[in-house]
Structure 1
């Protein structure tokens, strides 16, 4: 029985899948190859790049006009800037791939001969040149994980390909496709010991195109999910199908991971007589985030990088991105963490990533929280918002100051502490949703616990700025209207210098918003 794939390339006999080449403009690609062009494919990790390259190799070899070979160069990354060992690994891996995919038994021995007699800086070009001269068909080389290489290794690879380019197709590959996360124009080639840029994409200025593999469309997402129904007879409710799209916006790994967990891991989902519901999809999403599955953990780990922080921190705070360079912004787009909306602005790529980012940052603070008695629960287990407010005020007065120091992002430290507290409140019995946007000056939280839904808006009063109360009330009105609520909290964190201690300035009062809603104003 087939299943949804979350590890490695697609195998159609094992996995539900879309035809990999349907995600590209195959006619354009074949035209580029026919024109002897060198080009790039780039896309975020776990979006199907390798599956597409393998499918392209199979397509080209099936018709016999070309000899196409796929090779993964990631093994050379371990050698970093030890050029001789790195280039030997690259040449050997390409030769081994030719043996595996083409049955070319001569190629490994040929590679050993070249490596034994040729300097590292020209071994690849000599190997490819001799191979192409001995081949009856033009060679198409599909090189994956190229941007895993650094420094002299990457420079040497690109320059050897550029040097041999005029000899194609009789004495060099007709086409080389370089594949990785980043577009080559954005490559920044660094020494391992120094962060100064050695060179950029100019080391490979022969490339004709940069193609980006996109996410699934809404229709492709639905088609993939219904592969499971065709295979097993188990239905997805319309609400479940819609929720998978809403949460993932077609990010391929997330689509497969949500569906796999809902259909193959959750006990209710394994009963093929019962449909997959929206509730199961939401449960699968929550488990994936709590467990920090590898894909999400890799993204969360990126938050530690200074170039990522310079973009993400102001975004979470609702501030303008002022200190991040264009390359740093493009880096997050290439990672798939952010995307550009229709107006060209940056937004988080999908709702799951939008939830993962602040939750990952709040985890350090959450682990630092003291034991808190859950006085916010009534005897029947329902949430009491008034008691929750009292508990938060007491918690903030006692623990706010030291916990602010534990938060990894200074600009949103209060937000992270409050979110950590609320996660302790829901403790698996509810959900906490977040909304934030560049330049909005706020973060919105929606706490759902049983029948209770609480809308919370967070604002920060910074040095040199007016009291954000009036703006906050208007923004909270709009947020609560979208949730269909008649009241909520407006929390204003006073981060101006020279203020009294937290325990002295923390207080709350009841207010009426411009829209006539009952608002609890918290000054913290």
Structure 2
């Protein structure tokens, strides 16, 4: 049995988990600390922030120059409109954690009983810095779990004490969370965010923790090979990186599924096919990390950016803060070659539409698999006939029930295809941002159906000609003999009911392929 494991829950530690040196991922932190800096470290969840700060705090303390510790502010989130109670809860948790992570002589001293409300953190940190025999370095985690009056109170106390450092306030201090200071939530001043570093305008830098490189993924997986003898092929490592774009939780989760569920015999090599199988396990299971990301899709400023991307359109004129917020969540990234926003990695690209279509899928009527022949093979013509009948009968009411109204037809069609998939197929999606389309591929046994989704919007011309060109290019990259559908959803005002306007007919692409056009 291996002594260590791939970790997908909580901070990593070198005794129990395969892990890379977290401090090497953000080497400039030591320089900032030596300069007495107050700074921010922000990155999406499950990237390694807590592991990094725990490790750095331990190293700094063990070296003997500083008393460094990671403390959490999360307990204060239960009292976001009651700063007084939040202070008491936070300081109580800090006393416990400082005793766990620091030698007794360096820990938080007994709290002053008469410290005034609204100044308890200021008072405690002042006393701690004055009595600690070493310069005090604090990493305050989960800062963005605080909101409203409590958040403002905490930030103002830190800013007030900053000028008294290092004799009477921490030598260096970092705020750790998913977002930069300007995006912290506060119901004040007619806005729901600070939009500025004030009241924490004492920060020297805002740093972010990036994903793993492909070399780092290989290093991580080699630790498992060294301890167990089980090899990840070069192709498996490269594919794991491609699927995850180096997102640390996903990198670990793929490997964990492979070695603990799919290929438990350490004498067997982990191949690219094993990584592919693990990807679908994660997508279909939607483990905690993926589920928590999906929750964000309900937020309006996330929806306003994600919805057009799923339809293949460029996001409109959105506020910079909204774009930055979704980037900070890790749901999207800027393409390193083009700078265009795109869904962060191929795993998320599959998870997001599945989550959005989950409610619709639950609301679908029972679907008999009439699209299969007597041998259980998919017959595309029967599937098309079944979908058209379903759409005429159920399309209108289902469209009205979709939260992402802009892409409601896409979501309903994807929900339908996922029902088909559950019978033994596989649906994958591609987002051609800026092209006004989404590509969907259904594979069922030896049959492949390539589907191009287009929307005919108000004031635009008929998208059929463009769609046929795009479908031609898409089919060229699929298996030989792939069946092609161009599905055009007419979203213009004043159209007949869905049941009346839904129809299908044959058409020929510019390259001479015969395909089916669906008008819905």
Aligned residue among 308, 318, 334 for 2:312: 318
Change (3 A) 1:186 1:280: same
The equivalent of 1:462 in structure 2 is: 457
Q: Does 1:330 align with 2:327?
A: no
Q: What is residue 447 of structure 2 aligned with on the other side?
A: 452
Alpha-carbon separation, structure 2, partners of 1:99 and 1:105: 10
**What are the within-5 Å matches in structure 2 for residues 296-307 of structure 1?**
296-307=290-301
- In structure 1, C-alpha distance between the alignment counterparts of 2:132 and 2:107, rounded to whole Å: 11
Q: Displacement, 1:106?
A: 8.0
Q: Cα gap change, 1:117/1:106 in structure 2, threshold over 3 Å: closer, same or farther?
A: farther
Q: 1:129: which partner in 2? A: 126
What is the correspondence of 1:58-77 to structure 2 with a 5 Å cutoff?
58-77=58-77
What is the CA–CA distance in structure 1 between the aligned matches of 2:465 and 2:127, rounded to whole Å? Answer: 74
How many angstroms apart in 2 are the aligned matches of 1:221 and 1:523?
45
Deviations 1:64-88 (A, max 9, x none): 1111111111111111121111112
Paired positions, count:
516
Matched with 2:391 is 396
Seen in structure 2, the aligned counterparts of structure 1 residues 332 and 428 have a Cα distance that, compared at 3 Å, is farther
Map 1:502-517 → 2, pairs under 5 A:
502-517=498-513
Q: CA-to-partner distance for each residue in 1:382-433, whole Å, 9 max, x for gaps?
A: 2111221122122212222222222221111111111111111121522111
- Among 15, 18, 35, the alignment partner of 1:16 is 18
Partner of 1:344: 339
Provide the residue aligned with 2:419 in structure 1: 424
Q: Distance in 1 between matches of 2:106 and 2:31?
A: 30
Distance in 1 (CA, whole Å) between partners of 2:461 and 2:39 is 52
> What CA distance in whole angstroms lies between the structure 1 residues aligned with 2:157 and 2:259?
48
From 334, 337, 359, give the equivalent of 2:354. 359
CA change 1:195–1:31 in 2 (3 A) is closer
Quote how far apart the aligned CAs of 1:458 are. Answer: 0.4
Partner of 1:221: 217
377, 382, 386: which one pairs with 2:377?
382
State whether structure 2 residue 257 is matched by structure 1 residue 255. no
For 1:372 and 1:198, locate their aligned partners in 2 and report how far apart those are by CA, in whole Å: 49
Contact 2:105 2:132 in 1 (8 A): no
CA contact (8 A) 1:187 1:201 kept: no
Correspondent of 1:493 among 479, 489, 492: 489
Alignment-derived partner of residue 102 in structure 1: 102
Q: Give the secondary-structure state (helix, strand or coil) at the position aligned to 1:279.
A: helix
Match of 1:212 among 204, 208, 213: 208
Match of 2:407, SS? helix
Deviation at 1:482, TM superposition (A): 2.6
Distance 2:106 2:320 in 1: 47
Cα deviation, 1:464-517, whole Å, max 9, x if unaligned, reads 111001111111122222325455111111122222222222221121111222
Equivalent residue for 2:146, pick from 138, 145, 149: 149
The 10-residue stretch of structure 1 (507-516 or 137-146) with the greater mean CA deviation from structure 2: 507-516
Following TM superposition, by how much is the alpha carbon of 1:162 offset from its aligned partner in structure 2, in angstroms?
1.1
Tell me how far apart the structure 2 counterparts of residues 198 and 152 of structure 1 sit (CA, whole Å): 12
Q: TM-score, normalised by structure 2?
A: 0.95
| Contact residue 364 and residue 406 of structure 1 kept, 8 A | no
Pick the aligned partner of 2:517 from 498, 514, 521.
Answer: 521
Q: 2:183 aligns with which of 180, 186, 204?
A: 186
**What is the alpha-carbon distance in structure 1 between the residues aligned to residue 93 and residue 363 of structure 2?**
47
- TM-score w.r.t. length of structure 1: 0.94
- 1:474 and 1:288 map into 2 onto residues whose CA distance is 34
- Alpha carbons 2:255, 2:275 under 8 Å: kept: yes
Cα distance, 1:9 vs. partner?
0.6
Name the SS for the 2:365 alignment partner.
coil
What is the distance in 1 between the residues matched to 2:359 and 2:498?
21
Contact 1:92 1:108 in 2 (8 A): no
State the shift of 1:214 in Å. Answer: 0.4
| Distance (whole Å) between structure 2 residues aligned to residue 223 and residue 270 of structure 1 | 21
Secondary structure at the aligned position of 1:377 is classed as coil
Q: 2:229 aligns with which of 196, 213, 233?
A: 233
Using a 3 Å threshold, how does the CA distance of structure 1 residues 412 and 54 change in structure 2: closer, same or farther? same
For structure 1, which segment, 62-71 or 232-241, has the greater mean C-alpha deviation from structure 2 after superposition?
232-241
1:414 pairs with 2:409: yes
Of 313-322 and 167-176, the range deviating more from structure 2: 313-322
Deviation at 1:194, TM superposition (A): 8.6
CA offsets 1:34-56 (integer angstroms, 9 cap, x no match): 11111111110011100000111
Write the distance in 1 (CA, Å) between the matches of 2:106 and 2:34.
Answer: 27
Where does structure 2 lack aligned partners over 5 or more consecutive residues?
A: none
Shift of residue 173, structure 1, vs aligned partner: 0.9
Mapped contact 1:75–1:89 kept (Cα < 8 A):
yes
1:282 paired to 2:276: yes
Instruction: Give the distance between the partners of 1:498 and 1:391, measured in 2 at CA.
Output: 26
